Chains A and B, each alone.
Chain A
Amino acid sequence: MGEPHKTMQLSGWGRMRPEPCRTYRPERLRDCAPVFSDPTPDTLIARGYGRSYGDAAVNAAGVVDMTRLNRMRSFDPVSGILECESGVSLEEIIDAFLPNGFFLPVTPGTKFVTVGGAIANDVHGKNHHCDGTFSRFVRELELLTASSEVLLCSPESNADIFWATVGGIGLTGCILSAKIQLMRVPSAYISVDYHRCANLDAALAAMEERDGAYPYSVAWVDCLAEGNTLGRSVLMHGRHAEPKDLDRRQADRPYAVQTAHKLPVPFNFPGFFLNSWSVQAFNNWFYNKHPDLEHVIVDYDRFFYPLDSILQWNRMYGKRGFVQYQATMPLEHAAGLTKLLEALSASKRASFLAVLKRFGEQGPGLLSYPFKGYTLALDIPNHGDITQFLRDLDRMVLDHGGRLYLAKDACMSRQSFEAAYPRLSEFRAIKERLDPKGRFSSSMARRLGLTVQKEAEHG
């Protein structure tokens, strides 16, 4: 018996391999500690909105849904610091503070993620080359550990635990709350410059040349283009629009945006819905729709969260789901990107969205993902022998000194993981110290050998 729970089929956003998980959902902060000390489940993992694509927040023995712990505690308009419980979503933060001129200093491509999830994957956004990851703006967090202690962690105190928790995919404990630095913005709009690049080399050159002048930069890549158009892309550079950039209607209310009506995808589309022809058609349309234009005013929702207007868009890939593959390679190994794109193009595995970005410097998070290099993220529908195909890609990535992102990964092998994350042993040491019995665990943790050493040795 123990705390109230129910069994739910949970997977990541890619919808591959759902597992029946015993799921708890504390409604009040006070209900949290009893759940985490309930002896019935052997292991537990916190879960936010399940926007990680793989199995980071999946654990049959016990999952704790944190989304009801979403009280905001205080906001100081002078310092811009918000203190809130970890289940607050980025959408809620925008809704509450954009009208007062504050925005998230770092945001991923969806606003349906929790603060806890954003910290646990140390997420990055289109401004990584300037501003780094989410954790740079986390001033402090409260961590409920395996020994039922609540630790205050920050870059100043319990710093080692802080940097293990940031990007630590929930394995150091449960983040109860955090203090986050918000950023003042001049409006709710972004001024975007579009630049078409005929192939990958042109795109990389353009990023290198222009990124420095803009806080936001990302390129959309046509993965189906081949030969000398391989990697043709539309580069999008943006900055927050000043009131003078806006038209009259927008300038009157610079922080008010009519958010797009949300379209649900009510059921799984048939598996053939997204095939190489339909995606090719879309990609051609997209490329041709964006000639080089400057100062295009776009609201924050369309710029940062283009997919959020279609709820549950992941159902478009049909019942078998899909894999989101994100690889980063060091600047000097950009040739690896060409290989990756060639492999995808040759396999005709349609990728609706492929996104390319140049990352800035690596942060101090032990398992934090981004490092200086190029990152490419794409969707691969789950059909045919996907495992073998992914293994081939993994090898290419490793051979070029690259690595995969845990927020996206569902298939990587333990060997690839260990080879690609150089600070893993530091993380393990802290995990062992904080959680010697391996109370916090997930399907991903077991797959990658990230539980306690004892278990890890047996694989």
Chain B
Amino acid sequence: MADHNNLSRKAAVILGGASAVARYLALEFAKDGYDLVLADFDRDENERIAADIRTRTGRRCVPMFFDALAFDTHEGFVRECESVLGQAPEGVVLCFGFMPEQLAAQADFSLARRSIDTNFTGAVSILERYAAIFEARRHGFIAAISSVAGDRGRKANYLYGAAKGGLTRYLEGLRNRLHAAKVAVITIKPGFMDTKMTYGMPLPAPLVATPPQAARVMYAAIRKRKNNVHVLWFWRFIMIIIRHIPEWQFKKMSV
């Protein structure tokens, strides 16, 4: 952490800032003295959340419009952020995501495509730009929320899982590339979080993290420059088991 202290001000960009976890993650950053850009395509809510963070912490928090699907606007977005913050941010956290209803996405390719374009292509498009800046500058961090759904394809949600799986592989490669430039890449797999995405699903309560709880774990992991993080530790073991079930067996299961 020594190197970022010589920046005049700590600043970070939160992409998908209007999601429940992103909001609490942004709050952790702000409490720790960061200035923030909060970027989301829900303008109205993004502004409310930016106001909330400013009110609670007194830090600077600027809402900006960002659409993960509008790839050709990403370059401009990065530049605008820099001019708003007066410098390139120390790091960027990717929180946006899109989970279609699996059956609906099977029936309608536009939903499947939106999942892939948001969770994978959109992520690659924006993160590549930050990777180039941080690599040249030789410091920074890139954190992204992927999902355990990407660790193994399942019939229940593979059109979401495949895109998140792609994201996880992408982050792995990026970490490998940026290691030499001392830029940390942090892959976060939340397990279940109690958000709009999961409200109403019959999930076992102990497996579900609240957004503030998840955000605290994520923030600590970002500070420690971890490689991979599970929000609730036992998810790691659950996923080890799930990954080790032989395919001939797994294909018959409903998990």
Contact call A73/B52, Cβ cutoff below 8 A: yes
Instruction: Decide if the interface of chain A is mainly helix, strand, loop or mixed.
Output: mixed
Cβ of A5 within 8 Å of any chain B Cβ, yes or no, is yes
**The one of A25, A68, A73 that contacts B51, using a Cβ cutoff of 8 Å:** A73
Cβ of B45 within 8 Å of any chain A Cβ, yes or no, is yes
Cβ of B196 within 8 Å of any chain A Cβ, yes or no, is yes
Contact call B48/A74, Cβ cutoff below 8 A: no
Contact call A27/B48, Cβ cutoff below 8 A: no
Complexed CA–CA distance, A30 and B43 (Å):
12
CB within 8 Å of A: which B180-205 residues: 195-196, 199-200
Complexed CA–CA distance, A71 and B17 (Å):
14
Contact call B195/A4, Cβ cutoff below 8 A: no
Cβ of A29 within 8 Å of any chain B Cβ, yes or no, is yes
Complexed CA–CA distance, A140 and B49 (Å):
21
Complexed CA–CA distance, A100 and B45 (Å):
27
**The one of B44, B49, B52 that contacts A30, using a Cβ cutoff of 8 Å:** B44
Interface size on A, residues (CB 8 A): 20
Which residues of the partner chain B approach A96 to less than 8 Å between Cβ atoms?
55-57
Complexed CA–CA distance, A4 and B196 (Å):
9
Complexed CA–CA distance, A27 and B48 (Å):
12
Cβ of A72 within 8 Å of any chain B Cβ, yes or no, is yes
Contact call B200/A4, Cβ cutoff below 8 A: yes
CB distance from B214 to the nearest CB of A (A): 14
CB distance from B175 to the nearest CB of A (A): 32
Contact call B48/A71, Cβ cutoff below 8 A: yes
Contact call B45/A6, Cβ cutoff below 8 A: no
CB distance from B21 to the nearest CB of A (A): 11
Complexed CA–CA distance, A28 and B52 (Å):
13
Chain A residue at smallest Cβ distance from B18: A28
Interface string of A123-134 (1 = CB under 8 A from B): 000000000000
CB distance from B118 to the nearest CB of A (A): 18
CB distance from B14 to the nearest CB of A (A): 16
Cβ of A75 within 8 Å of any chain B Cβ, yes or no, is yes
Cβ of B95 within 8 Å of any chain A Cβ, yes or no, is no
CB distance from B77 to the nearest CB of A (A): 23
Complexed CA–CA distance, A292 and B195 (Å):
51
With contacts A68-B20, A72-B56, A96-B56 taken as known, whether A4 is within 8 angstroms of B51 at the C-beta atoms is: no
With contacts A5-B200, A27-B196, A68-B20 taken as known, whether A74 is within 8 angstroms of B51 at the C-beta atoms is: yes
Contact call B55/A74, Cβ cutoff below 8 A: yes
Contact call B199/A4, Cβ cutoff below 8 A: yes
Complexed CA–CA distance, A72 and B195 (Å):
19
**The one of A28, A30, A68, A75 that contacts B55, using a Cβ cutoff of 8 Å:** A75
Contact call A72/B200, Cβ cutoff below 8 A: no
Complexed CA–CA distance, A30 and B52 (Å):
16
Which residues of the partner chain A approach B58 to less than 8 Å between Cβ atoms?
100
Contact call A27/B51, Cβ cutoff below 8 A: no
Which residues of the partner chain A approach B57 to less than 8 Å between Cβ atoms?
96
With contacts A30-B44, A30-B45 taken as known, whether A73 is within 8 angstroms of B199 at the C-beta atoms is: no
CB within 8 Å of B: which A48-99 residues: 68, 71-75, 82, 84, 92, 95-96
Complexed CA–CA distance, A72 and B58 (Å):
12
Complexed CA–CA distance, A69 and B221 (Å):
27
Interface string of A1-43 (1 = CB under 8 A from B): 0001110000000000000000001011110000000000000
Chain B residue at smallest Cβ distance from A95: B56
Interface string of B46-62 (1 = CB under 8 A from A): 00110110011110000
By a beta-carbon cutoff of 8 Å, the part of chain A in contact with chain B is 4-6, 25, 27-30, 68, 71-75, 82, 84, 92, 95-96, 100
9 closest residue pairs by CB, A with B: A72-B55, A71-B52, A96-B56, A6-B200, A27-B196, A4-B200, A71-B48, A72-B52, A75-B55
14 pairs across A/B with beta carbons < 8 Å? A25-B199, A27-B199, A28-B45, A68-B20, A71-B51, A72-B52, A73-B48, A73-B55, A74-B51, A74-B55, A75-B55, A82-B55, A96-B56, A96-B57
| Interface contacts beyond A27-B195, A71-B52, A73-B55: sample of 6 additional A-B pairs, CB < 8 Å, sorted by A | A4-B196, A27-B199, A28-B18, A74-B55, A95-B56, A96-B56
